[in-house]
Amino acid sequence: MISTWEIDKRRATLWSKQTKIFNIYILILLIIMVITNIVSLDPLYSIFSGLFVILLFGAMFHIVGSFISRADQNLQYKKQITVHLLFILVVSLVGNLIIPHWNWDSTWRMSGGIGPTMMALLSMFCFVWFMDLRIDRLFIKYSVVGVLLSVVILFWTMSRGRIISFLILIFYIAICYLIVMLNPKLKYTFNRKKSLFYSFSTCFFILSLLVVVYYLADNDQIISRLLTSIGERERAWEILIEGFKSNIWLGSYGWWNANEVIKEYSFYDFSIANSSHNHYLRVLSEVGLLGLLAICILPAALIILSLKKALFKSNLEKTQRKKLILYSGALFSFFVSQLVEDQYLNGIGNFQTGLFAWLTALTYYVLKKNDVDSNEKQT
C-alpha cells in the first residue's frame, strides 16, 4: 500500500515535469536581465538585484506549484489555509476597530495594521482563494464568509488600484461567462434563476458598499482618495519617460534605480512624488522594451492560453473552465492595476512577489492539469 508521503512525493514529481517551459523562461529572463543592466547607472547593483528577485520568484512558483498539486488531492491542506486566511481577515477587521494606532492618517481607511494598500492586496488574494473554494463546493460556510469579508475589507481600504482591479475582475468574469454561454459548441447549460439571483445579489452588494462608503466617509476624504498625488505622480512619470527615451531597447537607469533617480529630483522639488506608482513606466526606464517584453510575456501567455482553453475547448471539465476564467481574470486585473501601482517583481521576499507567484502557479497548474492526471494514470 502506497503511503500518503509517497503519493505527495509522486504528485510533486509530476508537477516538476510540467515546469520545463517555465524553467526555460526563467533562464532567458535572467540572461535578458544581465544584458539590459550592463549599460545602467549602477550595473553591478542592478544585475544582482534583478537576478535575485527573478530567482526568488521562480523558487516561489515551484514551491506553490508543488503545494497545489498535493492540496488538489489532500483537502486538509486547503482547509488549513482557509482557516488561517479567515483568521487573518477577522483579526484585521477587529483590530482595526479597537486598536487606535491602526487608524491610517487619521482617516477611516482600513489598514489592518499593515497599511491600506497591502491590506487591499491581501483581501484580493483572499477573494480569489475563497471563490476557488466556491467553484469546488468546498467548505461552503467558510467560503461564503470569506468572500463577504474579503470584499468588505477591500472597499474599506479605499485602495484605488485594488478596487479597480476587483471591478475589472467582476466584469472580466461576466463577459467570459457570457461568451461561454453563447458558444453553441460548448453546449453550456445553466440555471437561469440562479444566474439572475447571483448577478443581482452581486450588484446589490457592491452598490450597498459604495453607498455605505459615501455616507460614512467625509466627502473630502473621498475626493482626496480620488485625486491625491495624481499631479505629483505625473511629474515622476515625466522623469521615467525621459529615461526610456534615452535608451528605448535597454533602458537607462537599471533595475531598482528609477525610484532613486526620482528621489533626487523630489528632494529639490516637493511637487514630484517619491515613487511613480506605475510598474510599466518604471520597467521601461530601467530595462527598456526588451526587459518589459521579457517580464510581461509570461502573464500575457498564461492569460491568452487560459482564455483560449476556457472559452473554446469543448471537452474541458466545468470546474476547470471556471477556474481558468477566475485565475486569468485575477492575473489580468492585477496587471491592469499596475498602471497605477508597482508591485510586480518589486522587492525581495515581500507579499506582492509571493502573491503573483501564487496566481501564476495556480493558472499554470490548471492549464497543465490534464497532462498531470494522464501521467498519474500511467504511473
Distance from C-alpha of 133 to C-alpha of 340, rounded to nearest angstrom:
30
In this prediction, residue 345 carries a pLDDT of 83
Residue 139, C-alpha cell as written in the block: 467548505
207 or 1: which leads in pLDDT? 207
Answer whether 130's CB lies under 8 Å from 147's CB: yes
pLDDT tens, position by position, 179-202: 888 888 877 666 666 666 666 777
Q: Which of 186, 202, 196 is nearest to 321 (CA)?
A: 186
Judged by DSSP in three states, 182 sits in helix
Distance CA 12, CA 65 (A): 8
354, pLDDT greater than 50? yes
Write out pLDDT tens, residues 90-120. 999 999 889 888 877 767 788 888 888 889 9
| CA-based nearest residue to 251, from 264, 242, 260, 259 | 242
Q: How many CB atoms lie within 10 A of CB 378?
A: 5
CA distance 115 to 109: 9
Residue pair 164/156 in contact (Cβ under 8 Å)? The answer is: no
Residue 174 — pLDDT band, cuts 50, 70, 90? confident
Percent of the chain's residues with pLDDT above 90:
42
For residue 190, the model assigns a pLDDT of: 63
Which amino acid is located at 88 in the chain? I
Asked whether the beta carbons of 164 and 202 are under 8 A apart, the reply is no
Query: Residue range 215-238: average pLDDT?
Result: 61
| Helix residue ranges per DSSP H, the chain | 4-17, 20-37, 43-71, 75-98, 116-136, 140-157, 160-182, 192-216, 219-227, 230-246, 258-266, 279-312, 318-337, 351-378
- The pTM assigned to this predicted structure is 0.86
- 8 A C-beta contact, residue 89 and residue 123: yes
The tens digit of pLDDT for each residue in 122-160 reads 999 999 999 999 999 999 999 999 999 999 999 888 888
More confident residue, 19 or 269: 19
Q: What is the CA radius of gyration of the chain?
A: 22
Between the CA of residue 68 and those of 63, 92, 294, what are the distances in Å? 9, 26, 26
Between these two residues, 220 and 204, which has the higher pLDDT value? 204
Span 33-43, pLDDT tens digits: 999 999 899 99
Question: How confident is the model at residue 227, as a pLDDT?
Answer: 47
Closest listed residue to residue 306, CA positions, set 326, 277, 288, 292? 326
pLDDT value at position 285? 95
340 class by beta-carbon count within 10 Å (0-12 exposed, 13-18 middle, 19+ buried): middle
Over 90: is that where the pLDDT of 294 sits? Answer: yes
Q: Tell whether the model's pLDDT for residue 13 goes beyond 60.
A: no
Tell me, what's the pLDDT at 144?
Answer: 93
Q: What is the pLDDT of residue 306?
A: 94
